[in-house]
Amino acid sequence: MGKIKVLPDQLSNQIAAGEVIERPASVAKELVENSIDAGAKRIEIHFEGGGRRLLRVADDGEGMARDDAILAFERHATSKISRLEDLFEIRTLGFRGEALASIAAVSRVELVTKCDDEPHGTRVRIEGGKLRDVEPAAHPRGTTITMRDLFFNVPARRKFLRSEATESFHLTNLITHYALAHPEIEFTLINNGRETLRAAPALDLRERAYQIFGADFIENLLLVEGGERGSAFVRGFVSAPRERRTSRDAQYLFVNGRFVRDKLIARALSEAYRSILPHGTYPAALLFLDVPFDEVDVNVHPAKIEVRFRRPELVAETIREAVRAALHGAGYVPLAVAPG
């Protein structure tokens, strides 16, 4: 008798879920990205118990037909890529076709959706990866996904969830990122029945930043714009030197519209402030870097928060110079970045 066994689907889905789904905010990330990919104009996020007990994302995007609504929960089921070449030119936030399968493997999920092609909507219920039922349901065009009891069937992971306050903080931070990246979309965040963030559709990033951070923050921002369109171009805002902070928490970095945690960009930003900000302090920043889709690999990590650039030095230089120019324009520094 051999010793090797192929794991049953449910178990392999749970293992895969471990890579993508770490906490309620990771579920929110996947669901909100799906809403954005579906062309939503309004996204409402509702959570209870820090998202551990309940997390609901409702959108007015294109919705799904009945058969797709069931298929969507299969692993590697995606409408976003179909050929290997697509992988090198990713324009959507999702593409792995893993998120819904992973979420459903470790929680109780209810999806209600309706698309224009069908006269009525569909409700699908899945618990711990097991399809419970599929039935017709009323819903306006769009999709509402409710996740309950995260890790109810994976006690080892449930143990690692943090307090309600910590998980709420992560969720709020995440939604803030998406709201900044998509001023044109209306975002509403409701925590235990209380609306904690509401951003009506905005004209541009400045208006959206005003909605989220308030007037004081906006007044101290310097406009950043520089680089070369089609190779590396950065736009956004950085704070004036007097606005310094003791952590990088107020740095919101995006690459091709996707928010990232990127040491290269963070370092280039710090370099631009060298000799202006005391050691151990950081500027606030909202920076959007655009590079050609084939110059950045977003497929580094399942959670897609890290990226790899084909020309890292070009990216660093673009950021450094654009930020330096903004500081210079406001009279803070000479234009050249001091060597060293």
Instruction: Determine which residue in the list 59, 60, 167, 186 makes contact with ligand ADP, applying CB under 6 A.
Output: 59
**Binding string, 106-145, against ligand ADP, x = CB under 6 A?**
-------------------------------------x--
Q: Give the residue with the Cβ less far from ligand ADP, 96 or 170.
A: 96
Residue range at the interface with ligand ADP (CB under 6 A); choices 48-56, 95-103, 160-168, 227-235: 95-103
SS3 readout for the chain: CCCCCCCCHHHHHHHHHHHHCCCHHHHHHHHHHHHHHCCCCEEEEEEEHHHCCEEEEEECCCCCCHHHHHHCCCCCCCCCCCCHHHHHCCCCCCCCCCHHHHHHHCCEEEEEEECCCCCCEEEEEEECCEEEEEEEECCCCEEEEEEECCCCCCHHHHCCCCCHHHHHHHHHHHHHHHHHHCCCCEEEEEECCEEEEEECCCCCHHHHHHHHHCHHHHHCEEEEEEEECCCEEEEEEEECHHHCECCCCCEEEEECCEECCCHHHHHHHHHHCCCCCCCCCECCEEEEEECCHHHEECCCCCCCCCCEECCHHHHHHHHHHHHHHHHHHCCCCCCCCCCC
Number of shown-chain residues binding ligand ADP (CB under 6 A): 22
- Minimum CB separation of residue 95 from Mg ion in Å reads 8
Q: Give the residue with the Cβ less far from Mg ion, 94 or 227.
A: 94
Instruction: Determine which residue in the list 25, 54, 72, 315 makes contact with ligand ADP, applying CB under 6 A.
Output: 72
Rule CB under 6 A: say whether 38 interacts with ligand ADP: yes
- Minimum CB separation of residue 195 from ligand ADP in Å reads 21
Rule CB under 6 A: say whether 298 interacts with ligand ADP: no
- Minimum CB separation of residue 123 from ligand ADP in Å reads 14
59 touches, from ligand ADP, Mg ion, none (C-beta below 5 to 8 Å by class): ligand ADP
Rule CB under 6 A: say whether 162 interacts with ligand ADP: no
Rule CB under 6 A: say whether 227 interacts with ligand ADP: no
Ramachandran region of residue 8, left (φ > 0), alpha (ψ -120 to 50) or beta? beta
Instruction: Determine which residue in the list 49, 94, 128, 183 makes contact with ligand ADP, applying CB under 6 A.
Output: 94
Rule CB under 5 A: say whether 143 interacts with Mg ion: no
Instruction: Determine which residue in the list 65, 70, 77, 190 makes contact with ligand ADP, applying CB under 6 A.
Output: 77
Rule CB under 5 A: say whether 128 interacts with Mg ion: no
Number of shown-chain residues binding Mg ion (CB under 5 A): 3
- Minimum CB separation of residue 49 from ligand ADP in Å reads 23
Contact positions with Mg ion (CB under 5 A) in 5-44: 34
186 touches, from ligand ADP, Mg ion, none (C-beta below 5 to 8 Å by class): none
Nearest to 102 by CA among 43, 64, 153, 136: 153
Distances (CA, A) of 29 to 20, 130, 246: 10, 23, 26
Contact residues for ligand ADP, defined by CB under 6 A? 30, 34-35, 38, 59, 61-64, 72, 77-80, 94-100, 143
